[in-house]
């Protein structure tokens, strides 16, 4: 159901300051409708399939690796790496590419970043497509990293918490953060492997061996885990748990689609429901046969329909 495989027609290295240089690529039609793809994680980086959610004949598709992720450098850097640095980076890329306004597409952490960017720069946005919503609230973090989804994945939960001594398991997230950023390289790698396997397991309705291999790849597992822990421990660097909900009024005039898997273990539907309740004009779709991953067929189908719809709307 995805559009055919496609290669970029242009790539860029964008210096955004603070020692960071971002990998940026453009795909599709240079004269098409501008859209920016915001990947998940944080720290996840791009995968080639991200290019294929958009009709390449109708869209000018901009994709980039966020600070410290993928082909951006320095890999794994936490220096000046916060949500608000990423928001500024998106705007830098838009200006650099000469785009007046663009559609914003983001899933999982990308949905958080899409909301933060759009609320900061509403005049630069033509609409939003959001999938698998997370707002980095305490209850969401507790669900994933303390008590919640462990009840659905008890055997995998035991693998996840195994690197953490029982005395520190009252705050798994903080315990992992200390080790991932600590001086013991072997311990950090062990924790990174366990952390990213857990993330891969809960990202889909059924375990996806390819996703597990991707998220635990030797060269990226520790940088990705470090960035993810850095953001989660800091609550996504948001001023309050309700910042992005309270800011919805800044974007309610924009067309929006919220697509949520009913059985999403990473980002339970209550978060998408809370967002849709604040944004009743948005098209809120709960997909009854899907979990979290955008590559689950039912979610892929809805996302393609959404991008096709916006291509008609924005033409």
Which of 20, 72, 77, 108 is the catalytic position? Answer: 108
User: Measured in whole angstroms, how far is the alpha carbon of residue 109 from the centre of its chain?
Assistant: 3
Beta-bridge mates of residue 261: 287
Residues 6+ apart with CB under 8 A from 221: 189, 192, 193, 196, 215
**What whole-number distance in Å separates Cα of residue 67 and Cα of residue 73?**
7
Task: Compute the distance between CA of residue 61 and CA of residue 64 in angstroms, rounded to an integer.
Answer: 10
Q: Tell me which residue of 200, 206, 259, 220 sits closest to 53, measured CA to CA.
A: 259
Q: Which residues contact 158 (CB under 8 A, 6 or more apart)?
A: none
Measured CA to CA, the distance from residue 212 to residue 180 in angstroms comes to 19
**Roughly how many angstroms between the first and final C-alpha of the chain, as a whole number?**
22
| 264 among known catalytic residues | yes
170 is catalytic: no
Left if phi > 0, otherwise alpha if psi is -120 to 50, otherwise beta: which for 101? beta
Distances (CA, A) of 310 to 100, 239, 276, 287: 17, 32, 19, 19
Q: 41, 86 in Cβ contact below 8 A?
A: no
Q: Rounded to the nearest 10 degrees, what angle do helices 221-233 and 172-180 cross at?
A: 130
108 is catalytic: yes
Instruction: Kindly name the residue from 121, 193, 292, 293 that is annotated as catalytic.
Output: 292
Smallest CA-to-CA distance from 224 within 44, 39, 67 is with 44
Contact between 133 and 272 under an 8 Å Cβ cutoff? The reply is yes
The active-site residue, picked from 20, 264, 293, 294, is 264
Q: How many residues does the chain have?
A: 315
Indicate which residues carry an active-site annotation.
108, 264, 292
């Amino acid at each position: 159901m995805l559009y055919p495989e496609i290669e970029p027609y242009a790539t860029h290295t964008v210096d955004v300051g603070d020692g960071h240089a971002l990998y940026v690529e453009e795909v599709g039609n240079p004269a098409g409708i501008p859209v920016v793809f915001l990947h998940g994680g944080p720290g996840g980086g791009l995968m080639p399939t991200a290019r294929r959610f958009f009709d390449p004949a109708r869209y000018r598709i901009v994709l980039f690796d966020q600070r410290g992720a993928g082909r951006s450098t320095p890999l794994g850097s936490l220096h000046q790496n916060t949500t608000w640095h990423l928001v500024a980076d998106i705007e830098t890329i838009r200006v650099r590419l000469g785009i007046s306004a663009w559609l914003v597409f983001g899933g999982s952490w990308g949905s958080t970043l899409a909301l933060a960017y759009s609320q900061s720069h509403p005049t630069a946005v033509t609409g939003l497509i959001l999938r698998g919503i997370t707002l980095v609230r305490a209850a969401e973090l507790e669900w994933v990293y303390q008590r919640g989804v462990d009840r659905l994945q008890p055997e995998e939960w035991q693998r996840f918490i195994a690197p953490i001594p029982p005395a520190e398991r009252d705050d798994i997230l903080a315990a992992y953060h200390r080790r991932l950023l600590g001086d013991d390289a072997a311990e950090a790698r062990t924790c990174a492997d366990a952390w990213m396997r857990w993330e891969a397991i809960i990202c889909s309705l059924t375990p996806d061996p390819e996703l597990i291999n991707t998220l635990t790849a030797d060269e990226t597992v520790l940088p990705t885990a470090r960035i993810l822990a850095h953001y989660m421990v800091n609550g996504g660097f948001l001023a309050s748990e309700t910042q992005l909900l309270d800011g919805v009024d800044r974007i309610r005039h924009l067309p929006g689609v919220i697509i949520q898997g009913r059985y999403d273990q990473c980002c339970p539907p209550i978060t998408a429901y809370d967002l849709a309740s604040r944004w009743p004009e948005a098209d809120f779709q709960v997909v009854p046969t899907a979990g979290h991953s955008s590559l689950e067929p039912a979610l892929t189908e809805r996302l393609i329909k959404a991008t096709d719809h916006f291509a008609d709307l924005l033409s």
